[in-house]
Amino acid sequence: MATTGKRRVGPNGFQENPCGRSSIGLTATLFGLALLAGWMFSGGVSLGSAQEGKPIAQPQWSAEQLEFFEAKIRPVLVEKCYQCHSEDAKQLGGGLRVDTRAGLLEGGDSGAAIEPGKPRDSLLLLALKYEDEDYAMPPKSAGGKLPDNVIADFEKWIRQGAADPREGAAWVPDSGAGEEAKQWWAFQPLKVSPAPAVQQAAWPTSDLDRFVLAKLEAAGMQPNPDAEPTTLFRRLSFDLVGLPPDPQAARQFANDWIAAGTPSLRRELLAREVDRLLATPQFGERWGRYWLDVARYSESTGKDFNTLYPLAWRYRDYVIDAFNADLPYDQFVRQQVAGDLLEADSAAEKSQHLVATGFLAIGPKSLNEQMPRQFVVDMADEQIDAVTQSVLGLTVSCARCHDHKFDPISQKDYTALLGIFLSTETRYGTAGAVGGRNAGELLLLPDAEAVSHLKPQSREEIERKKQRLEDLREEQREAFAERQRSRREGNSDTGINLLRIANQIATLEAELRSYNADGSVKALAMGVRDKPANRSGLSAAFTRARPPRARNAGFDTVSDSPLFIRGEVDRPSERIPRSIPAILPGLEAIEIPRNTSGRKELAGWLTDAHNPLTARVFVNRVWHWLFGQGLVTSVDNFGTTGATPSHPELLDYLADRFMQEGWSLKKLVRELVLSRTYGLSSEYREASFQLDPANALIWRHSPRRLDAEAIRDAMLAIGGKLELTRPEGSLVARAGDGPLGGPRFLTVSEDAIVKVNSNLRSVYLSVARNVEPEILAVFDFPDGSTVQGARQITNVPGQSLYMLNSDFANRTARNLVKRVIGEPAKGDVALKLDRDDVPEQLEELYWVALGRGPEKAEVAAAQKLLSRYRRNPITGWQSVARALVASAEFRGID
């Protein structure tokens, strides 16, 4: 819901405001709308407009001029205009106020209404004269054209300087949600209730179960039976580490489950298995990928000039390591929002904090944006959206252009946060867009030993590249001079040569920034840091390091942001002090020290124990990732347009317990998966389904399809080909700076990403915005452009066809057969189908592929299929294996 803050032309030719709504209304019967149409195609802001929060200076008018305004002009405006164009209007037509002098000078969505001293340039007079019936005002329905003498009065008034003593702002903010929105459940403090009493007292194994069972009993429903041990074991394996269970371990677990007999012994058995999985490095890879969805992780900028982020992988590895180390979630949030401002005990810890701020740097960016101010404001807006949606589940960026329509967030609240991020320098790297436009720098890590994906170069090679850079700059100067000569002589010039040189310079500069003078590799990362506190802190090195265009954006130091009228960067109004607004009951507004951006204060506010949203939102995300849907189904939206919780008492119980247990993800996951609720079977029961088809009351474990990464990783794992070693960097990292699929593929081609040739875990595959590995794209992989805590899950024919016919699926089937059956030497007939061990081989095939043994009917069907391949048993076995891989059971969990 965040918007760009730029005007655009709609399908009817009218300009539209940043939220996409036409600036002109639906009816032309109101005078105000006709007035707006009268200056529809004007542009720019009057020279007398308020800029940067400065009031419009009032000239010294004579008494005669003021008397003329009061007698001839104000009465007409009040009678004919105020209904639609004043502070009291139900909806301010086209953003134009005529009840203040500033409103007329600033104008509406299409620019100034009057130009003092210039009646011919004043669009108000053009509309009054009815020179174009389409833009005439007042409309006939409101009395028609004004008398000629009245129009002459307006013309005289404007010519004489438009004397107008009225004060007031140039615009009226759109009305927002109001105070009543603060009563929404999500904004209230946590309310921790004791677990309710239940009729079936022996069924629950935890308070969590009691909350769930009480709801079921109140609805007259019963929970499903417990899941079979093989089903539960496979569910645990995929949920905790994202991989199919080891077949031997699955068999052992099933046998031990049966032998245990009693619920308490089975719970101990389950707890041991859960603890084992939580301790593996694969846990962080599985759960880190979940957070990367929320963090809109990608290795390119996306948008109109899709440029690579060669160092995004550092943030990816930070997330995985944080989850494996069970870094408390409150610290995890603080490090990502303000890691550069936190204390650290070592260079390695400081580097970790800096890398964590990559969260703010990896978002999508429009590098081809030609307006420097627009670029930096858009980037700050994207950061606000990412922080507030990921941590709070609120769409704060919807207040960029007006007060939030549904949640208690005003445009001033938004602007107070905007100042925090405009006071932050975002170091995202890249060589920039065409000609190096909006190129970015990187952070230098204090840990010189930090792993790098680059190899050192010799000092001689670095010197050669520096000389090449100087040669290119000289070539650029000569090309520019030649273009100037050509223009003076009247020759046309496309500038293609200059553009080519500029691109080469930008790319070479970006490469050299990664190396020291001796050829050693710099430890660099994407991230953020505060801008200088004042202009005296703008060192020459800082100025040189910033791209030329960025130096003209006007946000060089820590400062407050102006409130941009309608979100348009060319219409700044009053400055709003940086602060954390009091948008949540019980949490006061926090002022920001003058010399800092305020991100540290924001991070502290986000993780304050009295903030009810942070723990609620994350606990709900974890529930969604384990159960298939959240207690609040709109996992990224806890605002008034989101869903209400199915179990509000349970949600608050878990959120409070999460904080009391030290914000530990592993403890939370452990508690959830050891509950009896998690261990329910997914069996379909007609009576329960009729009462609760959406399973909101959790009467069963919802069956669901695996996500894209788990499907791909499982295919590699069952074939014995999955590589579990973490790589240094990524394909994009090794390719280096430049556009995706750049000239002559100097970086990396789209095909190299789409047709991935790697056996690494999917979390380590390179993903660019709008370009993903084919198998991931087939199974609904997100594009990384927005916060996405819940992926879209589809079940379409193309997925089945991929699992049956793709080269990857065929290789998986061959590898699975080779692992289970073996591959006979030439002339060997040991695989003929009358062997006694064929059922055993089928058994093993099923355990490896599906985590269970085959049923009798499945054995019979497989043997029938194998009988068709007596002359070529391997092909028969591969057909069986392909059927298992293509089955819905393989790509789902019950």
Q: What is the pLDDT of residue 548?
A: 47
Q: Give residues with Cβ within 8 angstroms of 236, minimum separation 6.
A: 245, 270, 273, 274, 277, 673
Q: Name the burial class of residue 794, with classes exposed (0-12), middle (13-18) and buried (19+) by CB atoms within 10 angstroms of its CB.
A: exposed
Closest alpha carbon to 600 in 362, 342, 346, 415: 342
451 in Cβ contact with 728 (< 8 Å) = yes
- Strand 590-591 versus strand 704-705 pairing type: unpaired
Q: What is the pLDDT of residue 174?
A: 60
Q: What is the pLDDT of residue 89?
A: 74
Question: Rounded to an integer, what distance in angstroms lies between the CA atom of residue 393 and that of residue 401?
Answer: 20
Could you give the maximum distance between any two Cα atoms of the chain, in Å?
A: 115
Distance between start and end Cα atoms, the chain: 35
Residue 668: what residue type? Answer: L
Q: What is the pLDDT of residue 493?
A: 62
Question: DSSP string spanning 268-336?
Answer: HHHHHHHHHHHTSHHHHHHHHHHHHHHTT--SB--TTS-BB-TTHHHHHHHHHHHHHTT--HHHHHHHH
Q: What is the pLDDT of residue 110?
A: 62
Q: What is the pLDDT of residue 695?
A: 97
Question: Rounded to an integer, what distance in angstroms lies between the CA atom of residue 467 and that of residue 482?
Answer: 22
Distances from the Cα of 28 to the Cα of 21, 141, 234, 306, 394, angstroms: 16, 9, 64, 43, 37
Question: Rounded to an integer, what distance in angstroms lies between the CA atom of residue 438 and that of residue 436?
Answer: 6
* 3-state DSSP assignment of residue 799: helix
Instruction: Give the residue carrying structure tokens 């529809």.
Output: 40
292 in Cβ contact with 306 (< 8 Å) = no
* 3-state DSSP assignment of residue 383: helix
Determine if the pTM surpasses 0.85.
no
Residue 796: what residue type? Answer: V
Averaged pLDDT, groups of 10, the chain, 894 residues long: 37 33 30 32 33 55 89 88 78 78 80 86 83 73 83 92 86 68 92 95 96 97 97 98 97 94 93 98 98 97 91 97 98 98 95 97 93 94 97 95 91 95 94 82 87 81 87 84 79 69 81 84 93 71 46 78 91 91 79 93 95 97 97 96 96 98 98 98 96 96 96 97 94 86 68 92 95 94 94 92 95 95 59 62 94 93 88 89 95 94
Distances from the Cα of 243 to the Cα of 234, 282, 287, 706, angstroms: 9, 8, 12, 10
138 in Cβ contact with 32 (< 8 Å) = no
Q: What is the pLDDT of residue 460?
A: 87
824 in Cβ contact with 831 (< 8 Å) = yes
- Strand 704-705 versus strand 579-580 pairing type: unpaired
Q: What is the pLDDT of residue 817?
A: 94
Question: Rounded to an integer, what distance in angstroms lies between the CA atom of residue 271 and that of residue 210?
Answer: 20
